[in-house]
Amino acid sequence: MKDIIELLERYIKEYNLTNEQIQTKVITGKDILAFGMEKNGDYRLRCSNLLEHAVLIAASDSKSGRFLYSSTIFLFSPEDYPYLLFWYNQKELGGLCKLSLNDLTRFVGNRVIEFGFTHSNTNFDYKYTSTKFLISLVKAIEGRIDVFISCTGTESLSEQMLQSSFLPMNNGETDILKPGEINKESRPVAKFAKLLGFELVEGLYSYQTLGPVFFLRRTAG
């Protein structure tokens, strides 16, 4: 994780994301909780086993301390893959089967990054610059580390459904209406993924909300 943190800090300086008006910093571990969950909203940060893999890029007003922007990144290795869950549409079975990242080894190697939730309460200029910052990060790690993005969908699966290994569809047993549909707030994330050449995996959905999943596969190494 150290190499990713160093890369992030370098780009913060390069893009002048800390200046007289704005302070941008990289936060890890329990310091993320101290920053305040209400300023980010990424539900994965509530899980202690995921928190240790998280890096938060956070910006605030230099004078007032007012929250402006945050974006989460998670860095995982193979021992974590069994706990990273998805749903896959098994049409011949008439429903969704639960998969882990272990079942998707054609997409990942020995390290993988997930781009998490981005929350902004600031002006267009900063959002534009921070997007360029994330694009630079992706281009810097492309070819060395696999990257995926799970977009937030429009569904909200119950705890009972999340514990199941198979979710039947269109038979009255479950109420899954729109797997693969993107929540309005997550649409810019999907555009970001497509812009950078991420591959949409047909029939693969995020674990809690059934949003689409995009992978950027290594081109070397």
Per-residue pLDDT of the chain (221 residues; tens, 9 = 90+): 888 899 899 988 988 888 888 899 999 988 887 776 555 567 677 777 788 899 999 888 888 888 888 888 999 999 999 989 999 999 899 899 999 999 998 888 888 999 887 777 766 677 777 778 788 888 888 778 889 999 989 998 999 999 999 998 865 555 666 899 998 878 888 888 888 889 999 999 999 999 999 998 654 43
Domain that holds residue 24: 2-216
Q: How many domains does the chain contain in total? A: 1
Q: Report the predicted TM-score, pTM, of the whole model to 2 decimal places.
A: 0.83
Residues 6+ apart with CB under 8 A from 82: 100, 101, 102
Residue 180 is predicted with a pLDDT of 92
Residue 178 is predicted with a pLDDT of 80
Residue 148 is predicted with a pLDDT of 93
Instruction: Give a yes or no: residue 164 inside a domain.
Output: yes
Instruction: Give a yes or no: residue 202 inside a domain.
Output: yes
Instruction: Give a yes or no: residue 221 inside a domain.
Output: no
Residue 100 is predicted with a pLDDT of 96
Instruction: Give a yes or no: residue 57 inside a domain.
Output: yes
Contact 83, 49 (CB under 8 A): yes
Residue 67 is predicted with a pLDDT of 84
Residue given tokens 């949003």 in the structure block = 211
One-letter amino acid for residue 4 of the chain:
I
Instruction: Give a yes or no: residue 84 inside a domain.
Output: yes
Residue 29 is predicted with a pLDDT of 82
Kindly report the CATH number assigned to the domain that includes residue 212. Answer: 3.40.630.30
Residue 214 is predicted with a pLDDT of 95
- How many C-beta atoms surround the C-beta of residue 139 within 10 A? 10
Distances (CA, A) of 110 to 12, 79, 103, 146, 187: 27, 9, 14, 9, 29
User: Smallest Cα–Cα separation from 14: which of 132, 127, 189, 142?
Assistant: 132
Distance (Å, whole) CA 171 – CA 17: 51
Distances (CA, A) of 203 to 63, 128, 164, 165, 166: 47, 31, 18, 16, 14
